[in-house]
Amino acid sequence: MTTHITQDEIIEFTREIIRTPSINPPGDTRQCAEILLNKFKKDHIDAEIVEGRSGACNVVARLKGDGEGRSLLLNGHIDVVPPGEDWTVDPFWAEIKDHKIYGRGTSDMKSGIASMMAAMIGLKRSGAPFHGEILFMAVCDEETGSEYGTAYLLKKGFGKNADFAIVAEPTGLRVELGNRGLRWVDITVKGKASHAGRPHLGINAIVYGAKLVEAIQSVKFKDRNEAFEIPEPSLSVTVIHGGTKENIIPDRCDLVLDRRMIPGETTETVMKELQEVITPLLQEEKNVRIDVKMRPNYWDPYLLSEEEPIVQALVDSVREVTGKEPGTGAKAGCTDGSHLFHLGRIPAVLFGPGNAGLSHKADEWVAIDNILAATDVFSSLFNRLQIQPG
């Protein structure tokens, strides 16, 4: 289908961006953004770099059609998490073995970016008439909260006319309709210090921290949503700090909670549930203080209807390219789809060539056939939207 861009060009471009580390933290995406920009420029596609903060670069590119039509937003993140240990290949060499490309960011999600770009370049080279607009955002900062990436661009007005969006997160060519939400909560338990030889004179914050951990682990959730890969909400203690010295009764214990949410849950419901856990503990010991603070960066849960035009068009395109009915579902983790949906009010589908099960792991890889299939799916989708002007 993509007769205007060869398979070799797509594969080599994917490898080039994998070989350009854009590790977050620290989140410097300058070099990778330059490569994307130059790739677009070579084909005379209007593109620019938009810096969220120093070094945190986003790339925005635009293909404008020759008539009125809908605006499709394509989104993918160029930052990757650090490689970590246990690799058996160089994480930044994009080695090919058994028709797979290995490296950090292969699945999550530089292959998705490459296939979106390849489809855009293919469309541009074909010179085919085209209605509406395709707006592409390769964003930074996704792995640390999106403040300088997708959220930044949306607040600057990019994508304000978009009718729908696709985020090329790894879905293994499945069409995913949303993601669970996330809140991080900092909790400080404050007691009273004393000499450990006279513990009765103090209030041991670690002991109350431990009681709180136990109470948190026993929270039961009534609601489920079977559309999600993991249908229940969850509440986990992920960090704990307490104590300063062997012989001091600790006056402070800090916890961090990770709370995954399904649609219907909000900041208010999450806070109320926590208060219900904390109140009995405070009644037990009047001199303990427990401060609860929700972090400002958050992702709200969302789930699109299967009836959304972008969902149906994408499902039709996957079927056309692969000859198979694509599975649907919704992600357990968070994506920029949350920000596009809640901040940008844009229905955002998740679809990409990578394998979600390999994200953030050693020896991450992506199947070359999936990259080529995803490129064909995006090309088919452009066609489909072109023949259905808005």
Residues of this chain that interact with Zn ion (CB under 5 A) are 108-109, 169
Give CA torsion, residues 359, 175, 338, 139, to 10 deg: 60
Cβ-proximal residues to 352 (8 Å cutoff; 6+ apart), any chain: 76, 109, 111, 112, 115, 167, 168, 169, 170, 171, 173, 374
Q: How far is the CB of 360 from Zn ion (least distance, A)?
A: 9
- 174 vs 192, which CB is nearer to Zn ion? 174
Q: How far is the CB of 240 from Zn ion (least distance, A)?
A: 27
- 304 vs 358, which CB is nearer to Zn ion? 358
Q: How far is the CB of 253 from Zn ion (least distance, A)?
A: 33
- 10 vs 168, which CB is nearer to Zn ion? 168
Comparing every residue's Cβ against Zn ion, the nearest one is 108
Q: Which helix (H) or strand (E) holds 62?
A: strand 56-64
- 108 vs 364, which CB is nearer to Zn ion? 108
Of 352, 304, 300, the C-alpha closest to 326 is: 352
Q: How far is the CB of 250 from Zn ion (least distance, A)?
A: 38
Which tokens in the block code for residue 196?
């450990």
- Please give the single-letter amino acid code of residue 368: I
Q: For residue 26, how many other CB atoms are within 10 A of its CB?
A: 12
Give me the helix-helix angle, 30-42 and 7-18, nearest 10°. Answer: 160
Q: How far is the CB of 246 from Zn ion (least distance, A)?
A: 43
- 231 vs 333, which CB is nearer to Zn ion? 333
Q: How far is the CB of 301 from Zn ion (least distance, A)?
A: 17
Helix, strand or coil for residue 16?
Answer: helix
- 108 vs 300, which CB is nearer to Zn ion? 108
- 355 vs 379, which CB is nearer to Zn ion? 355
Q: How would you list the strands of the sheet with 252-261, edge to edge?
A: 234-242, 252-261, 181-190, 289-294
Q: How far is the CB of 329 from Zn ion (least distance, A)?
A: 16
- 122 vs 337, which CB is nearer to Zn ion? 337
- Cβ(386)–Cβ(67) under 8 Å? no
Of 204, 3, 32, the C-alpha closest to 118 is: 3
Q: How far is CA 199 from CA 59, 118, 177, 361, in A?
A: 58, 67, 54, 45
Of 63, 44, 36, the C-alpha closest to 379 is: 63
Q: How far is the CB of 109 from Zn ion (least distance, A)?
A: 5
